[in-house]
Structure 1
Amino acid sequence: MKIASYKSGRDGLLMIVDKDLKTCCAASHIAPTLQAALDDWANIAPQLEQEYEQLCKGTHSAAEPFDTSRCAAPLPRSYHWADGSAYVTHVELVRKARGAELPASFWEDPLVYMGASDAFIGPQDPVEVESEDWGIDFEAEVVIVTDDVPAGVTVGQAASHIKLIGLVNDVSLRNLIPAELAKQFGFYQSKPWTAFTPVLVTPDELGEAWDGSRLHLPMRTTYNGELVGAPNAGQDMTFDFPTLIAHCAKSRSLMTGTVIGSGTVSNVGSEAGSCCLAEIRCLETIRDGKPSTPFMSFGDRIHIEMLDAQNKSIFGAIDQVIVRYTAPKE
């Protein structure tokens, strides 16, 4: 099943989308928003599935063309957004570029931070940033959405709590990060927006590409019309999603609608390219002694998408332009 939210108020209007991302129908008669649907998923999901099957057969009486320009994030705001760094090869590369050793513990215990979940943005919403000097970067990631997860859940139990899967562009302001991390209290100003693909999908939509813990397909990242990366998201993922869930739920329960991110998708050796400019710059630094690729400028465009074995888009595309934000006048 594929689910979207059209822009409407703060929490969107729940939509069901067919497998080919061609048609959709409103699901407000079943649940007004995705959060409402997730809160009663056991009862709501079968009703949504019935409508989805009609859409895919072309027999739904209320079907209409699916318009991605109307899409908010499928879950426009969440009670909890936890982003990991599951590809330790990416972390190792970043530290190597600055001449720092990678602690052995990084291969054994996931890195996770809690991000801003109060205002996710849609797949075609512009990324508004006040200054190019802040070091604007994209990060292509896989995310999962959970139901209620009890504290102390085991890795073996965690997989059953994954209800939806999608992709995000987790925007970073790289030049603000060092000063924030120097305070030893985590990210805040350096993580402004997270944009989602038009749809989230249930795990069964992914077939053999989803093994219950990892998504084994290339993450295609196109920057200003040039494909800069297509690393396989299931390859070299040190910490899979059940492990990330169990890590996040070690000392507290996770509420329905929790979103957990993989961190920037990255493969060992980077032959398949990169999913963020920071990694590209690290490779340049290791090779040349300094980076040559600048961070993003106003007018730059980022396109993030994942295709199935038949080269069909699974989640739809994130396609965004960086624009200047003007702060309110006093």
Structure 2
Amino acid sequence: MKLATIKNDTRDGQLVVVNRDLTKAIRVSEVSKTLQEAIDNWDTIAPKLEKIYQQLQNGTASNTFDFDPTQAMAAIPRAYHWADGSAYVTHVELVRKARNAELPETFWTDPLIYMGASDAFIGANDDIKIENEDWGIDFESEVAVITDDVPAGVSVKNAQKHIKLIAIINDVSLRNLIPNELSKQFGFYQSKPWTSFAPVVVTPDELGNSWSDTKVHLPLISTLNSKIIGSPNAGIDMTFNFAQLIAHAAKTRSLMAGSIIGSGTVANQGSPNGSSCLAEVRCLEIIKNGKASTPFMSFGDRIEIEMKNETGNSIFGKIDQTVKSYKPMS
């Protein structure tokens, strides 16, 4: 099943069911007005949405319309909880190597995760609005999952059943603001502007055999200004799978329905196409040449992020964003 949230006159948008080819959709306000409402009542609402999806697939659904990804908001435009992991430890190891810092052994056994800003997410075609290029604008291509209610202390084995939807996201970072924030030993804030979602989210069954061990075993393709930066397979080198990330996040408290858990930047060790952000590209250049030659993003740059199935069809639709400047209001 594929779902999306399209723009209307509210902050939370309108839930729609989208067909597998991402060409047709149907409004489902009589079943659920928003995706958050659906997640809150998933056991009751999901079967109704699935029935509509099957009707959409076999051509028996009425009141369909052409799906326009530019009208898609983030799947959950504002969420109760957003926690981003760093599940690809080889990526962390590489970044530390570039600055001659050792990776603590515990990073291989204890997941890294931080709580992000969930008051607003943006759509796949919304501009990335940044005030200053000097802040070091970077994209981060990730996979994410959306859960129902997760009890505190959930086991890794039981955590997997709480994964209801899968997404791909662009978790934008302002790299030149990060060092000062982390030096305070209190985490990210200013260095993390809004995160964007691909046009649709999907249930795990849509991925078929590519969803295994709560990992997505498909390439995630990042294209900057028509040049492919990387296409690492999201199922390779993922040290901690999503069940492990969820269990870690829920160790001391429950997670509410609609919680979004990110994988962190997807990366494949030793692959020439293994990067999903410019920071990693720059680290590889530093290790090889002693300095970075690839700049961070500039105003006017276009980033596209997409994942395709084994037959080459887009699964989530494409994130297609342009970096734009904004002037702060006095």
Q: TM-score range by the shorter chain?
A: over 0.9
Q: For this pair of structures, how many residues does the alignment match?
A: 329
Matches within 5 A, 1:272-287: 272-287=273-288
Matched, 1:95 2:59: no
Q: Which amino acid aligns with 1:294?
A: P
What is the deviation of 1:270? 3.0
Distance, in Å, in 2 between the alignment partners of 1:321 and 1:301 is 4
Tell me which residue corresponds to 1:244: 245
Q: Name the SS of the counterpart of 1:264 in structure 2.
A: coil
The aligned residue for residue 81 of structure 1 is: 82
What is the rounded CA distance, in whole Å, between the counterparts of 2:150 and 2:213 in structure 1?
16
Q: Which residue is 1:128 aligned to?
A: 129
What is the TM-score normalised by the length of structure 2?
A: 0.99
Per-residue CA distance 1:163-201 (angstroms, 9 max, x = gap) = 000100000000000000000000000001100000000
- The Cα shift of 1:212 comes to 4.1
Q: Is the 8 A contact 2:173 2:192 kept in 1?
A: yes
**C-alpha distance in structure 2 between counterparts of 1:41 and 1:97, whole Å:** 45
Q: Find the counterpart in structure 1 of residue 154 from structure 2.
A: 153
- In the other structure, the counterpart of 1:6 is 6
2:47 corresponds to: 46
Residue equivalent to 1:324: 325
TM normalised by structure 1 equals: 0.99
Q: C-alpha distance in 2, partners of 1:156/1:97?
A: 36
Q: Deviations over 1:256-299 (max 9, x none)?
A: 00000000000011322310000000000000101000000000
Aligned match of 2:66: 65
Residue type at the aligned position of 2:89: V
Match of 2:182, SS state, is helix
- Distance in 2, Cα, partners of 1:30 & 1:262: 31
Q: Identity of aligned pairs, percent?
A: 62
Gaps of 5+ in 2: none
Q: What is the match of residue 295 of structure 2?
A: 294
**Whole-Å separation in 2 of the counterparts to 1:206 and 1:112:** 25
Superposition RMSD in Å = 0.6
Report the Cα offset of residue 122 of structure 1.
0.1
Correspondence for 1:185: 186
CA–CA distance in structure 1, aligned partners of residues 178 and 132 of structure 2: 14
Distance apart, 1:228 and its partner CA: 1.1
Q: 1: CA distance between counterparts of 2:318 and 2:141?
A: 11
Aligned residue runs from structure 1 range 167-316, under 5 A: 167-316=168-317
Contact 2:124 2:199 survives alignment (8 Å): yes
